[in-house]
Amino acid sequence: MTDISECPVEQVDLSRLPGPPGTLFEALDDLRARHRWFRNEIAQGYWVLTRFDDIREAFQTPEVFSNRSIVPVDPNPEYRFMPSLTDPPIHMKYRAPLARWFSPQSIEKYKQSMTESCEAIIDGFIDDGGAEFCSAFADQLPARTLTHILHLPLADAPFFISCANRIRGHVNADDAVAAMRDIKAYFVDVLAGRRAGGLDPDTDFLTYMLGAQVDGRPFNDDELLDTLMTLAFGSLDTTKTAMTWSTWHLATHPADREWVVSEPAIIPSAIEEFLRAYPVVSMARKLNHDVDFHGCPMKKDDMVLLTIQAATRDPEVFDDPATIHLDRSPNRHIAFGASEHRCLGSHLARAELKIAMEKWHQRIPVYRLADGVEIEAHGSHIAELPLTWSGR
Ligand code: HEM
């Protein structure tokens, strides 16, 4: 075990690192080349793992690497996202009732509505000859999809967009907490409405959840609300960010854009490649006890970042990892995680990303960045992506 005083130390704000798109991923490539693991002296400090194999091992050792917190700079969260912040064996008991609503079979039922949403959103701006992609499209589709799946009014989609953007990146911590409260209050009202006059539990997720069981008893109100919060926040910003990266790439790499347009069958593989090369999120874990992890002297309650955003570009696992190959195969990335907590919404996200990419390129096959704009990213977040095209 390395003595703590001899451990490599860095100070880098990975979640907000500013620069042109890709700055975060290049910084992580450099950090991986220099360190298998290091201590990041940000906030209270946390360990960072950089290699694919180590990260997957940590994901798959929940008895040591706990989900009590999954944000590296927030070791004692006030919120309690469910089932995210639970550990085995109780974790699966909270997750199991949700699973059938997000299975590949269930997702089939949502495809028609996602396709119609895409058409309607694009109709709204296509004749303008350009749009700011994040607000005009990438915000809209996930929020409409969420309202559809939860049988909420479509008119409430802007509320979800606004809350997700207030929480995004914790730019203003007080406002982020307030946005979480707002969304919780919204769901309190919605659940009260369902209790007063429920829909069919076979087709309405919320009515079903009111009767769902965990460990032989119904979910209590806090558990229901914490589950709904996870679904809302887990589905909005992630999918938006994934769409934004792939669109930024295609707007700036005409040969890849033309490939997607001329051969749409490549889209599923392209989506996996974008998720691998521009991974949306990394996840943290909290140490249950002291451990010597490949020489790293981790202590009980330390936070550890399992840097998915470094793992999926590890040259030990992926050939030519910094280059996009739309037909990459195999492509065993872990952008959706690598543990029992693996993304519950991965089938939904993949379907949504596929429909979005197909519809966009059918309607707007030729587009590029708006003239004179310099795109800036903060960590894995691109806030604005102005595009231009020549109309129908
Ligand atoms: C491109 C889009 C998405 C990405 C990259 C993504 C990524 C992830 C990752 C990495 C995890 C694992 C967390 C961990 O190990 O601690 C996760 C969990 C989760 N995701 Fe996603 N996600 C996406 C979309 C969605 C969508 C659309 C939903 C909506 C249902 C969703 C719901 C969830 C839930 C509920 C969990 C917690 C699962 C558990 O703890 O058992 N995600 N996601």
Residue of 230, 238, 271, 348 to mutate, ligand 1, most atoms within 8 A of C-beta:
238
Question: Which pLDDT score, from 0 to 100, does residue 219 have?
Answer: 96
Q: What spacing in Å lies between the alpha carbon of 70 and ligand 1's midpoint?
A: 12
Under 8 Å between Cβ of 191 and 224: yes
Residue bearing the CA closest to ligand 1, atom 38: 341
pLDDT at 4 over 90: no
pLDDT tens digits, one per residue of 89-105: 999 999 999 999 999 99
pTM: 0.97
- pLDDT bin (cut points 50, 70, 90) of residue 170 is low
Question: Which pLDDT score, from 0 to 100, does residue 392 have?
Answer: 44
Residue of 81, 247, 343 to mutate, ligand 1, most atoms within 8 A of C-beta:
343
pLDDT at 264 over 50: yes
Neighbour count for residue 148 (Cβ, 10 Å): 18
Question: Which pLDDT score, from 0 to 100, does residue 169 have?
Answer: 56
pLDDT tens digits, one per residue of 284-323: 999 999 999 999 999 999 999 999 999 999 999 999 999 9
| Domain 4-388 top-level CATH class | mainly alpha
pLDDT tens digits, one per residue of 209-261: 999 999 999 999 999 999 999 999 899 999 999 999 999 999 999 999 999 99
Question: Which pLDDT score, from 0 to 100, does residue 177 have?
Answer: 85
Cis peptide before 268 (omega within 30 of 0): no
Average pLDDT over residues 119-129: 98
Give strand pairing partners of 47: 39, 304
Residues in contact with ligand 1 by the CB-under-6-Å rule are: 67, 70, 83-84, 95, 102, 230-231, 234-235, 238-239, 242, 280-281, 283, 335-337, 339, 341-345, 348-349
Query: Helices in 35-172 by DSSP H: which ranges?
Result: 52-59, 90-99, 104-123, 133, 140-149, 157-167
Under 8 Å between Cβ of 308 and 282: yes
Q: What spacing in Å lies between the alpha carbon of 278 and ligand 1's midpoint?
A: 16
Which atom of ligand 1 has the smallest separation from the CA of 350? 1
Q: Considering the chain, what is the average pLDDT of its residues? A: 95
pLDDT tens digits, one per residue of 342-369: 999 999 999 999 999 999 999 999 999 9
Q: What spacing in Å lies between the alpha carbon of 73 and ligand 1's midpoint?
A: 19
Average pLDDT over residues 76-91: 93
Residue spans per domain, the chain:
4-388
Residue bearing the CA closest to ligand 1, atom 30: 345
